[in-house]
Chains A and B, each alone.
Chain A
């Protein structure tokens, strides 16, 4: 490391907030996508705005890239360090600054865990709606950077729908106040632009979120189906019937069995697929909706429909779903989690194609996902110790994502592009669109030092891959040579 840079970092931070020794850096070498690993130059753990600003100033002076890091649970390598860069961890920005029950909002630092917000709001009968399965660990800053969702976003929206304001530090030390506690702040919607920007546009140092009044009652209905297609069709039927469930999740047989072995949720292990449909609201409303949903499910061919008898059973039903990833982790040495979103009407077809691809590649695929949003999470099971399996898993994953784009969907619904889906996103965007993204980044970060190389592939990379975007059978820039 450049000694001048190091001494500037030392001036910026107390000794306890600067890690440079190999073993201290080790825990930061990857995020939740552990297939990619890289040790950074240093890890900075500021706990004041001034310290964070000083770290950014040092990086700017010495042109050293910075990767922001929340809790490191990201699944696309967004917080993966760069060999020539520092990691700026927000772990010590962990204070809840205010719970304003009157205006139903919370002002928190970015390192605060997602669930901690709801816990702090609970005494006021309020909660923060987006609930990623990782909510006990992931940070709200990371949620903003990824626009994270959860099992309840069908009704309550994603992170972007539940934010009011951000404070963002730019590389040149400017503190931008984006959004307000009042609706529709003036000017461009920078709040939306920042959300999901994967740490490439600025460092989020404060977050104001909306809180909601806890519904009077929540109830979950479990329906079993003899085929994945039937379950997929039932999803469209429920929504077509004008019902908007709080959550609508699907699991296929492989994940049902894995989850049942793991948490004993009481799932029907012979079903080809189950749907979990949560309804919430006023007591009478929930009763009314349960009747309606049962009706639709039975008409759509459910072989069994169960309503949780009490809160304990409801939580059990959800525990199976929320524990599905680790459950699958128990039945396979490794798994690879995909995250495509498709229009719901293609659910049955795409699931069928995934099954075909699975047998073609000789790798099992478990499906457990946000069916109501059409957000698939195929889990590809493999063993990294077997030669070639990891490559096969990646190739299968790439095929699945291409399939999502083909039917009008996207390569990532909520986990982000990170480093993992750079190649896959080449098939989703034209070179002009990618160039537009790069221009937007330059408007925030002209030196290109904030998490460079993530989230948006370079035009060069896409061209080299030969996976240029094809729309309507026409190659963009047909006159340009392919290198």
Chain B
């Protein structure tokens, strides 16, 4: 199977025909439309190695995320960044390529934090390994983390090693009725204490908070926090965007900000995660006006769903950074085979 993928890449190279890399297709909606023939990677699947006491799992890129999550759960472990799936077809490779982390991210780390090593096919049809299966490794440049969020533009992911973590002994979800102005203050106050927070979500006047940890520690924290018990099923629904907020056709923006940045004060409906660092906005505001505001607050904005497909989906890069991106792209994929235009129109 690996040989087939390498063959396809070499043919594409010979024929100068771009390839559209596809795992389970669960994130087809994400990013710009890429040109090229579809290279389906979903058959390249299977867990290569998993030893719970090593806290590392290695699997082929087409392995369904659900399969990985199931085997981790059997062993009392988890992917610490709580990735969204969006569909049962989601694969490990797609997870890494999209680099999207879920509700636990500010406390459990991001996808890229957990990636330890990759095996890829580069644009010359060479099979390369970077990083490894160990926690610490500074041999060579960190090209494995470079793959995270690159949306397949730098190479075909074949195999990935990720760090996993023990599942917390217990988790509780609490809810609070709070006016928007009071939320930031509450979160800031909790943030100053060593509270075992592991997710937050604020929408329509309700703040939900999840705490994770040992029993003894949670008892104290819950007493301090107050609020009312709430349904923990919120979090997977939130990660997979099945809440009513996410339904509908209008443009959905994903806005990342420094956690303590003030309110966006933009028209539209907002849902706030990550203790303020991630704000989803449903709005018809122009990309230009929105990005201007977000940039002024030190953040960046992605047109996550809907809107104008041909517009810049990801926050524009400075000219110097864009030029560097183009040079890096050429270093890994000289013929521009992989997912051209998926990330930025220029490469």
Interface residues of A (CB under 8 A from B): 100, 102-105, 125, 146-147, 149, 153-154, 157-158, 160-161, 170, 174-178, 180-190, 192-193, 195-197, 201, 213-216, 236-237, 239-240, 242-244, 281-285, 287-289, 341-345, 370, 373-375, 408-417, 421, 425, 428-430, 432-433, 436-437, 439-444, 455-456
Which partner residue on chain A sits nearest B56 by CB separation?
A343
Among B214, B321, B331, which residue has its beta carbon within 8 angstroms of that of A289?
B214
Contact of A436 with B324 in the complex, beta carbons under 8 Å: no
Contact of A413 with B134 in the complex, beta carbons under 8 Å: yes
What is the distance, in angstroms, from B69's C-beta to the closest C-beta of chain A?
17
Q: Which residues of B contact A157 (CB under 8 A)?
A: 109, 113
In this complex, the interface size class of chain B, counting residues with CB under 8 Å from chain A, is 35 or more
Q: Which residues of B contact A413 (CB under 8 A)?
A: 134-138
Contact of A242 with B220 in the complex, beta carbons under 8 Å: no
What is the distance, in angstroms, from A459's C-beta to the closest C-beta of chain B?
13
Among A175, A196, A282, which residue has its beta carbon within 8 angstroms of that of B196?
A282
Q: Which residues of B contact A411 (CB under 8 A)?
A: 139
Tell me if B284 is interfacial: C-beta within 8 Å of chain A: no
In the A-B complex, the 6 residue pairs with the closest CB atoms: A285-B217, A192-B145, A242-B166, A413-B136, A284-B216, A240-B53
Contact of A408 with B132 in the complex, beta carbons under 8 Å: yes
Contact of B214 with A193 in the complex, beta carbons under 8 Å: no
What is the distance, in angstroms, from B163's C-beta to the closest C-beta of chain A?
10
Contact of B112 with A343 in the complex, beta carbons under 8 Å: no
Q: What sequence of 0s and 1s flags, for each residue 192-221 of chain B, a beta carbon within 8 Å of any chain A beta carbon? A: 111110000000000000000111110111
Contact of A186 with B331 in the complex, beta carbons under 8 Å: no
What is the distance, in angstroms, from A205's C-beta to the closest C-beta of chain B?
14
Among B76, B219, B330, which residue has its beta carbon within 8 angstroms of that of A443?
B330
With A184-B256, A188-B325, A444-B324: A146-B145 Cβ-Cβ less than 8 Å: no
A-B contact pairs, 21 of them (CB 8 A): A103-B260, A104-B259, A147-B138, A157-B109, A180-B299, A182-B257, A183-B106, A187-B317, A190-B324, A282-B221, A288-B214, A341-B137, A343-B56, A343-B133, A375-B134, A429-B140, A432-B126, A432-B127, A433-B140, A437-B140, A441-B141
Q: Which residues of B contact A105 (CB under 8 A)?
A: 258
Complex alpha-carbon distance, A441 and B143, angstroms: 12
Which partner residue on chain B sits nearest A292 by CB separation?
B214
Which partner residue on chain A sits nearest B106 by CB separation?
A183
Which partner residue on chain B sits nearest A236 by CB separation?
B53
Q: Which residues of B contact A180 (CB under 8 A)?
A: 256, 258, 298-300
Complex alpha-carbon distance, A53 and B173, angstroms: 52
Which partner residue on chain B sits nearest A202 by CB separation?
B324
Contact of B145 with A409 in the complex, beta carbons under 8 Å: no
With A182-B299, A189-B112: A440-B328 Cβ-Cβ less than 8 Å: yes
Q: Which residues of B contact A441 (CB under 8 A)?
A: 141
Complex alpha-carbon distance, A395 and B212, angstroms: 49
Interface residues of B (CB under 8 A from A): 51-56, 76-77, 99, 101, 105-106, 109-110, 112-113, 122, 126-130, 132-143, 145-146, 148-150, 154, 165-167, 169, 188, 191-196, 213-217, 219-221, 256-261, 274, 277-278, 298-300, 302, 314-315, 317-318, 320-321, 324-325, 327-328, 330-332, 343-344
Contact of A183 with B343 in the complex, beta carbons under 8 Å: no
With A285-B213, A433-B128, A436-B331: A186-B314 Cβ-Cβ less than 8 Å: yes
Complex alpha-carbon distance, A281 and B107, angstroms: 13
Which partner residue on chain A sits nearest B149 by CB separation?
A189
Q: Which residues of A contact B55 (CB under 8 A)?
A: 239
With A182-B299, A184-B256, A193-B145: A102-B196 Cβ-Cβ less than 8 Å: no
Which partner residue on chain B sits nearest A413 by CB separation?
B136
Contact of B134 with A343 in the complex, beta carbons under 8 Å: yes
Q: Which residues of B contact A342 (CB under 8 A)?
A: 134
Contact of B149 with A214 in the complex, beta carbons under 8 Å: no
Complex alpha-carbon distance, A442 and B213, angstroms: 46
Which partner residue on chain B sits nearest A216 by CB separation?
B194
What is the distance, in angstroms, from B228's C-beta to the closest C-beta of chain A?
22
Among A100, A216, A288, A439, which residue has its beta carbon within 8 angstroms of that of B215?
A288
Contact of A443 with B331 in the complex, beta carbons under 8 Å: yes
Contact of B196 with A440 in the complex, beta carbons under 8 Å: no
Q: Which residues of A contact B76 (CB under 8 A)?
A: 242
Among B139, B145, B148, B278, which residue has its beta carbon within 8 angstroms of that of A425?
B139
Q: Which residues of A contact B221 (CB under 8 A)?
A: 282
Complex alpha-carbon distance, A374 and B53, angstroms: 12
Contact of B139 with A187 in the complex, beta carbons under 8 Å: no
Among B54, B149, B196, which residue has its beta carbon within 8 angstroms of that of A188?
B149
Contact of A282 with B141 in the complex, beta carbons under 8 Å: no
Among A158, A174, A183, which residue has its beta carbon within 8 angstroms of that of B256?
A183
Contact of A281 with B145 in the complex, beta carbons under 8 Å: no
Q: Which residues of A contact B196 (CB under 8 A)?
A: 281-282, 285
Complex alpha-carbon distance, A6 and B138, angstroms: 35
Complex alpha-carbon distance, A160 and B115, angstroms: 12
Contact of A149 with B136 in the complex, beta carbons under 8 Å: yes
What is the distance, in angstroms, from A477's C-beta to the closest C-beta of chain B?
11
Contact of A440 with B143 in the complex, beta carbons under 8 Å: yes
With A284-B217, A287-B216: A456-B140 Cβ-Cβ less than 8 Å: yes
Q: Which residues of B contact A433 (CB under 8 A)?
A: 128-130, 140
Complex alpha-carbon distance, A53 and B133, angstroms: 39
Complex alpha-carbon distance, A213 and B192, angstroms: 6
What is the distance, in angstroms, from A275's C-beta to the closest C-beta of chain B?
15
Contact of B194 with A160 in the complex, beta carbons under 8 Å: no
Among A187, A193, A421, which residue has its beta carbon within 8 angstroms of that of B141?
A193
Contact of B128 with A186 in the complex, beta carbons under 8 Å: no
Q: Which residues of A contact B133 (CB under 8 A)?
A: 343, 408
